[in-house]
Amino acid sequence: EWVTTMSSEAGSIISNETRERGSTYGQSWPELLQNKGICQETLEEFSSKVLNFYDEQGRKFSWRSEISPYRVLVSEIMLQQTQTGRVEEKFSAFVARFPGFQELAAADFSEVLRLWKGLGYNRRAKYLHDISRTVVAEFDSALPDDPEILVRFSGIGKATAASICVFAFNKPYGFIETNIRTVFIHFFFPDQLGVSDPEIFVLVEKTMDSENPRRWFYALMDYGVMLKQTVGNLSRKSSTYRKQSRFEGSDRQLRGRILDLLLSRTRVDVKTAAIILEQPEDRVRALTGALYSEGLLVEDNGWFKLA
């Protein structure tokens, strides 16, 4: 069985051994639920509360109103570590220019990156471009509905593979991301610190709607957003919580500036880039080399350009 969490961008597997053991304290899952006073009636009340909220106040997004495997894939890659508001601004223009796998696969990477600009984590644009080419070349332009296959694609970890299958194909695969984590901590672990994803995941499994998992996970995520706005980010109580590093002056910011420079120039050498960006040449050389290794740049006799 495919069991995943979104404790990081790549996700991780909760092993069958961990699930059977139940927690770090050696409890079985039934013991864990019993010790917390969680019965079937409690789970049903929880599900009803979350779904009622969603029916009344669920968020509206274009990737939800018009669902296709391609649109779900684009939105899921865009939403990795990026707020929905920023994704909304970019998604419609992106799918208008590239309405399907074939159009995206045929495009130059520079055009893809130009439309991606502003979302950050630019390697995701390269992942999406590479995925589209794989889908066209190897799967007759049809995105596979199996997470075991999806996880082999560039930039798709185990959690993203599960979420794509849920939202694109309405298949019941469990996963955890920050909003979902917030919901379960709020309801079932209000006084506990260091809550582990295996503890949360048993509740994800117990409450998942196998007939309409897409609606259920939309509801969980929207309820989590509401909780963050009203009670704060309870994911800080999770054992997976890590404070995001500062962006200003970071390598991540400078990587973006290098790519922006190459959107305005056909090619550039490291020395010229360092002068324009007002950065040490060694630092620019190292980051340019990393971008080359990741396939975002190509090099020709000391000159770099977009892949």
Backbone Cα Rg of the chain: 21
> What is d(CA 193, CA 199) in angstroms, rounded to the nearest whole number?
12
- Which residues are the active-site residues? 76
